[in-house]
Amino acid sequence: MKRFWSFLVKSLRVRFFLILFITGLFSCMIMQSAILTNYKDRAIEVKKNEVQTQLRILANHLITYNYMQDPSSAIVQAELTLLANLYDGRVLIIGDDLQVITDTYGKREGKTIISEEVVNCLRKGSDGVATVYDNKNGYLEITTPIIETAGLGDGDYLSSEAQSKEVVKGVMLTSVSTANIEKTMEILNNKALVIEVIVIMLILVFSLVASKALLKPFDRITSKLNEMKAGFTDEPLSVPDYIETEHIVDAFNQLQGRMKVLDDSRQEFVSNVSHELKTPITSMKVLADTLLSQEDAPGEVYRDFLSDISAEIDREDKIINDLLSLVKMDKKATQPNIASVNVNQMTEIVLKRLRPIANKRNIELILESHREIVAEIDEVKISL
């Protein structure tokens, strides 16, 4: 279980999937919220403009039928009732003395109403029109002035000249229900939820496919590395799908090239070590075999052969010390031990070492020396 959770936390594929899925999910939610909010604001604005148009017409009719002085007009009463029923609301006709003349609910007629919106509307006239939306209770409250003017036309609109001579006779305080907008919002929200679920499923599938496709180059790198580890191939990697994979592959190929050089150096080192260690051992074996084959050899011969064997052992010790120094120096060549050496004597020693081996193969070794030679050399390495 711990390994599984570690995989989920560290897996690049899982991270890609989560990033794509969460981004798509939040995008859907934000888009849904933005569309529904914009629709609601627009629907309320349209309804407000529609109701205000009807209220302006009704306000003109109130002046035309002298309703503010005689509220018994059946035509105006019918219009008020129709407006209230049409918009599922309530209309209050308020005189300039803040007294309610008509209430379509019939509850506040004859009472005085004190409201900031009503007072402002009475004072400012057309400039005092106010609209308040109560989102909590779901209604729209509109304050409309009832204006009498000297230049009233057919009763449905006011000329610009007449507006400068307007007299506010009262105020219409109208409450309009927005239940139909809320109902539409609920229907749209349910439909949006269904669409959102479908889109989320598509995003889920897309995220899975995309996360797998995006990481395919890395899977190929892993596969080729496993092949190289198993020894099936030693070709350089090439995964040019992304710039990142190119950088990884180039770095690995450089590392592989360096490791190959080191491996070749190691093999060469082992080969040289084998040769350098084998030469003195072979010489000692030949000397020992020669000594054993001579049963009645005089003591002087024994001493001579044993002296040669001792010299070979010393040479073997020097070679081993040099090799150990080479290993300690990280397989880099050490400085040679330069000294003045008599080349003639060194050559004679080498020939003396090789003669038993040559005699076994019926080879005669002869040194012809015309003059003495002294050179600055590393005797151990030269005589290997």
| pLDDT tens-digit map of 314-330 | 877 777 777 777 665 55
Residue 115 pLDDT > 70, yes or no?
yes
Distance CA 321, CA 379 (A): 14
State the residue for tokens 């379509």: 104
Structure tokens at 108: 């506040």
State the residue for tokens 């403009």: 49
379 and 339 Cβ atoms separated by less than 8 Å: yes
| Strand partners for 172 | 93, 144
Distance CA 113, CA 94 (A): 8
Structure tokens at 357: 């081996």
Opening angle at CA 120, ends 140 and 107, nearest 5: 55
% pLDDT > 70, the chain: 87
Topology (CATH) of 259-382: Helix Hairpins (1.10.287)
pLDDT winner (highest mean) among 77-91, 254-268, 284-298? 77-91
383 and 350 Cβ atoms separated by less than 8 Å: yes
Instruction: Tell me the one-letter amino acid at 241.
Output: D
Cβ burial 112-129 (10 Å sphere, 16+ → b, else e): eeebebbebbbeebeebb
Residue 148 pLDDT > 70, yes or no?
yes
Residue 44 pLDDT > 70, yes or no?
yes
236 and 248 Cβ atoms separated by less than 8 Å: no
| pLDDT tens-digit map of 327-340 | 655 545 556 778 88
Q: What is the DSSP string of 315-346?
A: HHHHHHHHHHHHHHTTTPPPPP--EEEEHHHH
HSE, side-chain direction, 13 A CA sphere, residue 14: 8
Distance CA 381, CA 335 (A): 11
| Strand partners for 93 | 102, 172
Residue 170 pLDDT > 70, yes or no?
yes
Number of H helices and number of E strands within the chain? 11, 7
| Strand partners for 90 | 175
One fold for 2-185 and 259-382: no
Task: Look at residues 173, 62, 177, 69 and name the one whose alpha carbon lies nearest to residue 128.
Answer: 173
Q: At what angle do helices 216-230 and 243-293 cross, to 10 degrees?
A: 0
Structure tokens at 286: 């030949």
353 pLDDT band, cuts 50/70/90, is confident
| Strand partners for 141 | 132, 175
- The answer to which of 7-11, 104-108, 356-360 has the lowest mean pLDDT is 7-11
Query: What is the C-alpha radius of gyration for the chain, rounded to an integer number of angstroms?
Result: 55
pLDDT winner (highest mean) among 53-62, 152-161, 222-231? 53-62
- Beta strand pairing call for 89-95 and 167-177: antiparallel
Say how many C-beta atoms besides its own lie within 10 A of residue 212's C-beta: 13
Instruction: Tell me the one-letter amino acid at 271.
Output: S
pLDDT for the residue 91: 92
Per-residue CA distances from 252 to 232, 246, 266 (Å): 17, 10, 20
pLDDT for the residue 329: 55
pLDDT for the residue 42: 92
Average pLDDT of the chain to the nearest whole number:
81
So where are the chain's domains? 2-185, 259-382
CATH number for the region 2-185 comes to 3.30.450.20
**Range 5-11 contact pairs with CB under 8 angstroms and sequence separation of 24 or more:** none
